[in-house]
Amino acid sequence: MYLLSTEDGALHECSGPHALPHGKHYAILSHVWLESGEQSFQELKAIIAKGAGLGQAAKNKWLWKRPTPLVNGGVLNKLKTSSREFARLEGYAWVWIDSCCIDKTSSAELSEAINSMYAWYAAADVCFAYLADVSDEEDPNAPDSQFRRSRWFTRGWTLQELIAPQILFFISRDWCLLGTKTTLAPLVEEITGIDRAILTHQRRLDSVSVARRMSWASRRKTTRIEDKAYSLLGIFGIHMATIYGEGENAFLRLQEEILKRVPDQSILLW
pTM score, two decimals? 0.84
Closest CA to 64 of 126, 3, 128, 6: 6
Report the mean per-residue pLDDT for the chain: 82
Per residue in 117-126, pLDDT tens?
999 999 999 9
50-64, 168-182, 189-203, 208-222, range with the lowest pLDDT:
50-64
DSSP 109-170: HHHHHHHHHHHHHHHSSEEEEE-TTS-TT--TTSTT-TTTT-GGGGBSTHHHHHHS-SSEEE
Is the CB of residue 76 less than 8 Å from the CB of residue 39?
A: yes
Confidence of residue 188 (pLDDT cuts 50, 70, 90): very high
Is the CB of residue 167 less than 8 Å from the CB of residue 126?
A: yes
Tell me, what's the pLDDT at 103? 78
For residue 33, the 8-state DSSP code is: P
Q: What percent of the chain has pLDDT over 90?
A: 50
Average the pLDDT over 247-267 and give the result: 91
Q: Where are the alpha helices (DSSP H) in 156-241?
A: 158-163, 185-192, 196-199, 210-217, 227-230, 233-236
DSSP 46-82: HHHHHTTTS-HHHHHHHHHTS---GGGGHHHHHHHHH
Per residue in 67-97, pLDDT tens?
333 333 344 445 444 545 554 554 677 888 8
List % helix, strand, coil for the chain (3-state, nearest 5). 40, 15, 45
- Chain CA centroid to CA 8, Å: 22
24-28, 127-131, 170-174, 222-226, range with the lowest pLDDT:
24-28
Distance set, CA 268 to CA 3, 209, 214, 255 (Å): 40, 11, 11, 9
Q: CB atoms < 10 A from the CB of 35, how many?
A: 7
Q: Which of 253-262's residues contact partners 24+ apart within 8 Å by CB, and which partners? A: 253/229, 254/229, 258/210, 261/237, 262/206, 262/210, 262/236, 262/237
Kindly give the pairing relationship between strand 126-130 and strand 92-97. unpaired
Per residue in 6-53, pLDDT tens?
777 777 888 788 777 666 688 898 989 766 556 666 666 666 666 555
Helices (H) and strands (E) in the chain, counts: 11, 7
23-32, 45-54, 127-136, 238-247, range with the lowest pLDDT:
45-54
**Which residue type, as a one-letter code, is found at position 224?**
R
Distance, CA of 141 to CA of 146 (rounded, Å): 10
Is the CB of residue 163 less than 8 Å from the CB of residue 198?
A: yes
Distance set, CA 156 to CA 41, 84, 104, 151, 220 (Å): 22, 28, 19, 10, 5
Distance, CA of 251 to CA of 232 (rounded, Å): 9
Distance, CA of 120 to CA of 161 (rounded, Å): 9
Tell me, what's the pLDDT at 260? 92
Cα dihedral 209/211/216/219 (nearest 10) = 180
